[in-house]
Chain A
Amino acid sequence: MKLRSSIFLIVCLSFFTSCEDLTDIAFPANTPVLVIEGIITDQDHLNTVRLSTTTDVNDIVHSKPVSNASVKLSNGAGDEEVLSHTENGFYRIEEIIGEIGETYTLEVSYQGQEYLATSTMLPVSDIDTITYRFKENSLIDYEGYYISFSAPKSRKDQVNYYRWLLYKNDTLLSGKADIFVSTDEFISSLKDLELDVPFQKNDTVTLEMYSLDKSAYDYYLTLSTLITSDGGFFSPVPQNPTSNISNGALGIFSASAVSSRKIVIE
């Protein structure tokens, strides 16, 4: 998908100047659909489950939190935990801890419907090195410092899937272009991989690397395709991200191991 958009970009930049405008299109009414974002990692402070529902396209509110669902987390060893709601649709994981190799199951019961998802926590390698370099303003890049890093493959001789999160001065970058996922299927190692985000002098940058299973990887990839789609005929028909949750819920439940590195741009 990245390839398509970059080719498209090349053409647009080289030849045609276009303009954007707001259009009015009649949107059909929405029956709220449950959205589940569940993550369990080997680092307790990152673990969380958030429930919400969709809203009408024209609604000022972009998401409605769900506080009255019954949420249950279990692992392969038979441990079970009923998660309690804290606020704004967030549910806290207190007892069950994330362990590499373990498979987790999330069960949500909401308005008489049952939703189920499982995910296996795969190992993740440590980030060996992290550096940055300066790039000037060009047709493709904004001026700034770009982070690159190296790491061995998480599991040798197997295809691994990764997600990276970037924090700028402890604030998570969550823009449209900040979904970084990849597979090591076609590369020999994670060597000098550059992330396409410009930082400025004195920024403290934290890089987190998450292991993903195939279904979580597919989810983030299709999510990225959806939100960067221009809706044109070079793009596939827009579809909801492929979810690993049953019964038509949106979102993802993912078990990930996490490694991280920090660097200050000087």
Chain B
Amino acid sequence: MVETQTIIMTDKLRGIRMDNIKYLLCVFFLSLIWTASFSQSPSNEAFTISGYVKDAASGEDIIGVTIYVEELKTGAVTNAYGFYSLSLPKGNYNLTYSFIGYRSEVFAIQLDKDITKNLELAEETYQMEEVVITSERPEQNVTEVKMSTEKLKIERIKSMPALFGEVDVLRSVQLLPGIQSAGEGTTGLFVRGGSADQTLLQMDEAPIYNPSHFLGFFSVFNPDAIKDLEVYKGGIPAKYGGRISSIMDIRMKEGNMKKFTASGGIGLISSRLTLEGPIAKDRASFIVSARRTYVDQFARFARDTSIRDNRVYFYDLNAKVNYKLNDNNKFFLSGYFGRDVLNLDDAGINWGNKTGTFRWNHLFNKRLFLNTTLIYSNFDYAFEITADPDSFDWVANLQEYNGKLDFTYFVNPKSQVDFGYQALYRRFEPAAFKPRGKNSNIEAFSFDKQYAFEQAAYISNQLKISDKFSMEYGLRWSIFQNIGPGSVFKYRDLENRTLDGIIDTVKYARNKVLKTYHGAEPRLGMRYLLDSESSLKASYNRTRQYLQIASNSTAGLPIDRWIPSDTYIKPQVSDQVALGYFRNFNENAFEFSAEIYYKWMQNQIDFKDGADPLLSRALETEILTGKGWSYGLELMLRKNFGRTTGWLSYTISNTRREVAGINGGKPYRPRYDRPHDISLVINHEINDRLSLSGNWVYQTGSAISIPKGKYNLEGKSIAYYDPLDRNGGRMPAYHRMDLSITLKQRKKLFGVGQGSWNFSIYNAYMKKNPWTISYKEVINGNPKIDVDDPKVAVRTREFRSVSTYLFRIVPSISYNFKF
């Protein structure tokens, strides 16, 4: 009794101290922002120049355009909506607007009143004779505070070699340093030692809960509908939250404001069509983009009825409408709908995402910008067996409703404040079974639904302290609540929870709070310019995550179960520090960066031996909790413009987990710990019609458990694994080269359009990369012989490791067109 009281007392004390610390932190941040905002305001008269920068051809916003003020050696960058704002003392200035791949524009302005300057930049077209590289272009890579961030334009992804005629956003992103895949043909992103569910994939800010098509060989992001993407691996700004490892922000195209265009492609397995154009010129536009596979359409002609009746396909549909009411108010509505269907004989599964985003950009004045966003996301799957007596329907579903207010306040050229609030509501419906046929044996039942409410508020300040030193610091505060209706099991032994140990069930009514978690997430980034071409950067961030996938396999399956934090499953918390050196060479033609990071992850879950999390009614009895950590060095050399572009990257990293009850409590490697990772990505334009591209990757093999012995049970040979050596072995190293050639047609398509052929070879030198390795009895040295086949005369019976190879070499061809 005394002991319990002491524990409660210390807990309380700890709570009070923590609250104090948080309070102090808040005061500290607020005062910093105060100082930043007002003490540094220019004393003499100041005016603001602001506006939007757009693409001259399509009218789409351009993100990340640098606006540089020659006289003050300062500048601004357009935000995610193409908006910029600069407050400068009264005077005459030369402003340079520049963006990679676009022709720079220089304007002389006389700033004696607030000015709105909207601008359209034209794409640079390379002519052999005049490869002009503007000198003194302030390079964002070096000058921005942001680090550990990777940007990819969709054109870059589209120029890469395809698999089955499909280029893929997530497969391309896996070529960037610090981002790994679980293995060939999986779309999950494992960023700096984090698992796939610790990366937030968002398209137009709507989360995609399952990005896979065909179990992960393709992703749901149709390249024709995407504009660009950005991945935050660390130094995550306070604006973003919800996942502890990484945020991948994908933006859909907005639709051409100038003219109507159609584009598309015909590939080996799918076709794509995109229509876009103005609804009202320069005011409203739309885009509709669709993709569907058609292998099942060919299957209809098969002679074998069992093949003919199969239905296997996926589709994606993206749509977006933009409307610009006036310079101060812009709206868009976008949606994504996608589905996979795999039906074979009497079994079938289908899954898909639906998302919707409504956004309103509003300018209160030249310096205060507000984004209001409403988001809906739905992921569901259904699994069915149609033949009695086992016939059933099984459905599961996860829905999210999300609202955000994001303010940006341009204080002065040296200071920008971002602040906002977010509220989201999630509804988890893990699984509901019901019998399907009349003679089904299956009893109808369903798991309890779970409901969660999450809120976050943040404030951050980008501050230029001197010509050399800039920083961005901020604080995000998130709060999470499980809400009723729901029930919580009480256990006899809290530490050692078992199904038999449930002593009571506490029921909660609708909207009652079952459990609350909250916490601060400080963020910090710093940049010090060494000279005009190089800089040092450092960052720290703490992130919190209130939901995760409960799965004991590495790669995602559509049936993976998302679960919220609850009474027993604590939110995941991660701290990361990163240090980087950034340098540009040859007048910014080459960008080089080197970053080191260290990351600590708390409340990481793993599963007890033999656990089946998918159908567990009390997951807390199946999990074990521990910690994880990861550290590494990422080197990147990139060439962004010219006829030859691409990058070479190398990552060396080390990731471990430590969970009491697994591997004897010793640290172990997760499967995706792959210390060495090299990517080479090259694209070369031979002339205006012909371009070549190639990728080469090398990765250490995945960490796997290797049997330590074997034994015989009831006539079967079985591998013995050392329980103290989890994932102690390695698959053979993985390497692969892909090549492609793109040829634009000389003749105009129907007199107006442009057509091009793409020939790709995946795994060009036919490396047999094991996809899986299993250990089993092999008869007569031939792994294809069925061990149980009585007709085979057994000469030898060995216990061997057998690899399965997925793709030896995959040539493909696709045709793309644009009108």
Q: Which A residues are within 8 Å of any B CB, using their own CB? A: 1, 3-4, 6-8, 10-11, 13-16, 18-25, 27-30, 32-33, 35, 37, 52-60, 62-63, 138-140, 172, 174-178, 186-194, 218, 221-223, 225-227, 229-242, 248, 250-251
Contact = CB atoms under 8 A, between A and B. Distances in A.
Contacts of A191: 389, 441
Given A25-B729, A54-B711, A237-B727, A188 B441 contact: yes
Contacts of B712: 35, 52, 62-63
A28 B708 contact: yes
A172 B716 CA distance: 12
Contact of A192 (B439, B784, B787): B439
Contacts of B784: 20
A234 B714 contact: no
B306 A186 contact: no
A177 B716 CA distance: 10
Given A13-B344, A176-B716, A239-B723, A54 B445 contact: no
9 contacts: A14-B310, A14-B312, A21-B768, A25-B773, A30-B709, A33-B709, A58-B799, A227-B776, A233-B772
Interface in B432-465: 433, 439, 441-443, 445
Interface in B702-732: 702, 704-723, 725-729, 732
A28 B800 contact: no
A140 B344 contact: yes
A251 B727 CA distance: 22
Interface stretch (B135-143, B553-561, B739-747, B749-757): B553-561
A193 B805 CA distance: 36
Contacts of A19: 804-805, 808
A223 to B, nearest CB: 7
Given A20-B804, A62-B799, A242-B609, A186 B214 contact: no
B443 A188 contact: yes
Contacts, number: 240
Central interface residue in B388, B722, B774, by most chain A CB within 10 Å: B774
Nearest to A218: B610
Interface size of B as a range: 35 or more
A232 B771 contact: yes
B671 A14 contact: no
A62 to B, nearest CB: 5
B711 A53 contact: yes
Interface of B: 182-183, 186, 214-215, 217, 295, 306-307, 310, 312, 342, 344-345, 347, 349, 383, 388-390, 433, 439, 441-443, 445, 552-555, 557-559, 607, 609-610, 612, 614, 671, 702, 704-723, 725-729, 732, 768, 770-776, 778, 781, 783-784, 787-788, 797-808
Given A25-B729, A28-B722, A240-B721, 10 more contacts: A11-B342, A18-B806, A53-B711, A63-B711, A178-B788, A194-B390, A218-B610, A231-B775, A233-B553, A248-B723
A53 to B, nearest CB: 7
A222 B609 contact: yes
A139 B801 contact: no
Contact of A56 (B310, B390, B709): B709
Contact of B732 (A23, A27, A222, A231): A23
B443 A28 contact: no
A4 B557 contact: yes
B434 to A, nearest CB: 11
A14 B344 contact: yes
Given A11-B215, A62-B712, A139-B306, A232 B772 contact: yes
Contacts of A233: 182-183, 186, 553-555, 671, 702, 772
A18 B709 contact: no
A63 B797 CA distance: 13
